[in-house]
Amino acid sequence: MEYVMADLDVPATISQVENFHPVHTVDIRGYQYPGGYRDLETFIRGWVIRGGKPLVITDLHRLPAYPRHIFSPEWLAANHARDREFTLKPTISPTLLVADCLLD
């Protein structure tokens, strides 16, 4: 697995490379109001589906209704470890990326 260099200047790289674009990030908690998920769906349709731009939705794991059993390290090992062998790190925070939880 290759990692991004710690000193990578992302804004400079984006400005110098025609095919690189910043990725928009949305905190799901900003849509927790009556009709909020409908507003989020409208945004996703415009931004991702019609606009073809990537979108990262953050903090899903912070919602009370988040199904914690899905995408847990145990779930990943049970459902997606067939093609490769990996070891779980001993301490895993839900704020880590899935790739951060796996060791080659």
pLDDT digits (tens, 9 = 90+) for 4-51: 677 888 888 888 988 887 889 999 999 999 999 999 999 999 999 999
DSSP, collapsed to helix, strand or coil, labels residue 81 as: coil
Distances (CA, A) of 11 to 6, 17, 20, 57, 102: 14, 10, 10, 20, 28
**pLDDT at residue number 83:** 62
On the question of pLDDT at 2 being above 70, the answer is no
**Percent of residues, the chain, with pLDDT higher than 70:** 72
60 DSSP assignment: G
What is the distance, to the nearest Å, from the Cα of residue 35 to the centroid of all Cα atoms in its chain?
23
pLDDT digits (tens, 9 = 90+) for 39-90: 999 999 999 999 988 999 999 888 888 887 777 777 777 877 766 665 555 5
**Residue 40: which H helix or E strand, with range?**
helix 36-44
On the question of pLDDT at 92 being above 50, the answer is no
